Amino acid sequence: MNVLILGAGRVGTNLARLFAANGVDVTLWNAWALDEPTQAALEDSPRVNVLSGRPLTLAPQEPGEEWELALLAVSDDAIPVVARELDASGLAPAVPVLHCSGSLAAERARTGKRPVGRLHPAFAFPSPGLPLSTLSRICFLLEGDAAATAGATRLLSACGLRFVAASPDPVLYHAACVTAANFSALLGIAAGRLMESAGIPEGEARPLLTSLMGGVLEHAAGEGFAASVSGPVLRNDLQTILSEARAVGREAPDLFPLFLEGNLTLARILGRDELADSLTRWIEGDEESED
């Protein structure tokens, strides 16, 4: 396959590397010259051809080398701008254009009759040079016109990548993605702070915490997140929760609301209503009745 990716940020660069590693010929366009980290990240990807500069101009391609789809890996506000630039750049009208935004519907790339879609990588990209073994675990959300989804399906299937075909509410979908990604990081930060208060420095605590969190994710992949819960809430162990809450309030008071509300919300979700009611009474000040 031959794919055009517009935007050499962390998302576009990593996807270019991932597709190229699976035999796809990738043209990666960026409005400006690539920075050093991006150039370094692309050193392992000889199949990625880099273009840069504004305005966007695409030279005519040889027969058999035409792009089969274009992927907009740019900021949300730039999607319609770059999509219009593509129309004026010489890209064949039949080539589908998909964007990578998590919070916008496929229609955001619509400029006329060209097929459009959304190919959102449900993944966090902290740098442009993530290991290919890590990138191979990405799962994508795919939606859009038939020609756009067909082209993206061929691309993902050729690379052995997972995807979910759906047309969710964009706002709620992105809220779910933010919850999964950023709140996982938040919980890791909070747990690291508590480990440090307990006497284990952050660097030494990290393998303990990633072991715990990784085990939950691995089990959840097969059995679901609710089936991956363990500990005091699952056992209806109010006294342990209260004992730990007091310790958190004493040693890390800024994490006290997170700890309490997290246990309370988990209890409600799991149907531990009696435990949730007892926690609610304790939170509301009837502490002595739960001792």
Determine the pLDDT at residue 55. 75
Q: Are 33 and 11 in contact (CB under 8 A)?
A: no
**pTM higher than 0.85:** yes
At 184 the pLDDT is: 95
* Per-residue model confidence (pLDDT) at position 285: 84
Instruction: Dump pLDDT digits (tens) for 189-217.
Output: 999 999 999 999 989 999 999 999 999 99
State both tokens at 142.
């795919």
Rg value, the chain, Cα? 24
With a cut of 50, list the residues of the chain below it in pLDDT: 289
pLDDT number for residue 64: 52
Q: Which two tokens stand for residue 149?
A: 């989804």
Return the pLDDT at 56: 80
- d(CA 39, CA 33) in angstroms, rounded, equals 9
Domains of the chain: 2-167 (3.40.50.720), 171-290 (1.10.1040)
**What confidence score (pLDDT) does residue 227 get?**
96
CB 112 within 8 A of CB 131: no
Task: Please tell me whether the peptide bond between 55 and the residue prior to it is cis, using omega within 30 degrees of 0.
Answer: yes
Confidence (pLDDT) at 58: 78
